[in-house]
Structure 1
Amino acid sequence: MTSSVRIAAWNVNSLTVRLPHVIRWLQDQEKANAPIDALCLQELKLTDEKYPHRALEDAGYLSLAAGQKTYNGVAIILRKAALAPIASDIETAFLKPIRNIPGHIDEQQRILAATICFKGMQPMRIISAYFPNGQSPDSEKFQYKLSWLGALQAWLKDELAQNERLALLGDFNIAPSDDDVHDPKAWEGQNLVSPPERNAFQSLLNLGLVDSFRMFEQAPKTYSWWDYRMMGFRRNAGMRIDHILLSKALEKNCSYSKVDKQPRTWEQPSDHAPVIAQIQSN
């Protein structure tokens, strides 16, 4: 019997608000016989002390979190039933954890990486990442974004050299091409779509990563984020800025990648939808 794991990313825009959504979504996937084995969260907006480990463990999941008050924060949530027997607690489930880009001084909590051992699979390096927004190309925040992207690329080069099976998941705050933007003309020259950002995205691919979503035929105008304002979701005025990038070793075993828009229809939703990829055992 072939083993597989489903990995996902979701910017929840406050885990305090969206915890019921996260648990509901994970349980819905279980009921649909398509459980999520590793879920990378972004924008927790809470400190480590307030992270809901107990509620998630009661639902059948182990978590590692790197929180920050009010802003940012990332986590990796693992389905206990999918883990190898040795991964019985947080310490053995999340191997070689990293909470920041090494050598890059940053007070903002945007990176969490760990090696995971799933049943019937070789170990997988999973990185939950919340890329800076950048605000606008003429702002200091944009320069911070470009600096952060440069540090990320340098670190990932080392990570890939050490980890053949690597997945980078999260809110990238970059729409890689015009196909990922509802109105490219209206967004031209703006943050999220500017040439420097798209070049940085391409630099990640040049390291040997692949955009799992674009490996498969997808419905046109498929997005992962819609502005809360002006009925963005109802009009499908969105952008695809949430991604799962896979190393070559995982690419060859990826059987699908998609966006699940359903949680965006729920009451008081995040402005992002989860993105999913399935990896078969080799």
Structure 2
Amino acid sequence: MKIASYNINGVNGRLPNLLRWLAKAKPDVVCLQELKAPDERFPEQALLDLGYHAIWHGQQSWNGVAILSHYGEIRETRRGLDGNPEDLHSRYIEAFINGVVIGCLYLPNGNPFPGPKFDYKLDWIKRLTKHAKKLQEFNLPVALIGDFNIMPTDLDTYKPEKYKENALFRPEARKLFNVLLKEGWTDAIRKLYPDERIYTFWDYLRNAYERDAGLRLDHFLLNDHLLSQLQIAGVDKEVRGWEHSSDHAPVWIKLKDRVHLS
């Protein structure tokens, strides 16, 4: 079972790149973030033509998350997080696919720091942590996947000193990320590659991609039921170099094949 995450940074504007990557990489399940499209403009038919069913939670111009599956119809279990009825951002969607609960998320950026956007980010992480505790109670394999907009360690940025006042690297956000991990979640990429600099994002400015001046913002958090099935992981870095690419590259993990199909 190959599960991928891809902040597409505009699903319609970059649809040719998405379809090209799907045809080449052939992931079984994909979590997309930053659709930047309302529900009615999600390219459902183009994805079906490649064999991917989808659920999505769109938003005009901003945010938006989706889950794609090669396994057929998707059993949606949730969209949005509890705890703030005034939060109308499309940042979380969840489904049960092939015996695995998959939560696809686009955590708030939080910049500029300090300010209300950073406060919203911290509150959102706390709400995610509360929901993650409930997911653990179901005694099922669970993965929380997506663009967390957090660099958990110094290894996750090419230049730590540059980001001391950036919301992506602030200790308040990193501390809450670690609180989440201590609730029974494992950072899959860091588990497999504990000492390597692995990046998933390269800014459009100052030739960041060409210089490999990257950040690791996209994560797979697995509970213990799923961790034992983890085999390998990687980043399709070359996709970031395609013309009109997102500033993120697709990230993926492979799990042992599962017998149950939802």
Q: TM-score, normalised by structure 1?
A: 0.88
Residue 26 (structure 1) aligns with: 22
- Asked if residue 101 in structure 1 is aligned to residue 81 in structure 2, the reply is yes
Amino acid paired to 1:104: N
Within a 5 Å distance, the mapping from 1:201-280 to structure 2 comes to 201-217=177-193, 220-280=196-256
Correspondent of 1:115 among 84, 96, 100: 96
State the Cα distance separating 1:218 from its structure 2 match.
Answer: 6.8
Distance 1:218 1:159, change over 3 A: closer
Cα 1:103–1:186 change in 2 (3 A) is closer
Instruction: Name the CA distance, whole Å, in 2 between partners of 1:146 and 1:133.
Output: 10
Of 169-178 and 134-143, more deviation after overlay is shown by: 134-143
- Match of 1:215, SS state, is helix
Other-structure match for 1:55: 46
Identity %: 38
* Aligned residues between the structures: 257
**Residues 55 and 170 of structure 1: CA distance in aligned 2, closer, same or farther (over 3 Å):** same
Q: Contact 2:35/2:63 (CA < 8 Å) preserved in 1?
A: yes
What is the aligned partner in structure 2 of residue 17 from structure 1?
13
Matches within 5 A, 1:72-87: 72-79=63-70, 83=71, 87=72
Which amino acid is the alignment partner of residue 8 of structure 2? V
Q: Deviations over 1:202-249 (max 9, x none)?
A: 112111110100122378332001110111111111100111111111
For each residue in 1:166-215, what CA deviation from the matched residue of structure 2 results, as whole angstroms up to 9, or x when unmatched?
00110000000000010011212322111111011111211111010012
Aligned CA distance change for structure 1 residues 96 and 271 (closer, same or farther; 3 Å): closer
Gaps of 5+ in 1: 30-34, 88-92, 118-122
Cα gap change, 1:25 to 1:218, in 2 (>3 Å) = farther
Contact 2:155 2:195 in 1 (8 A): no
Q: Give secondary structure in 2 for the equivalent of 1:234.
A: helix
Give the AA of the match of 1:39. V
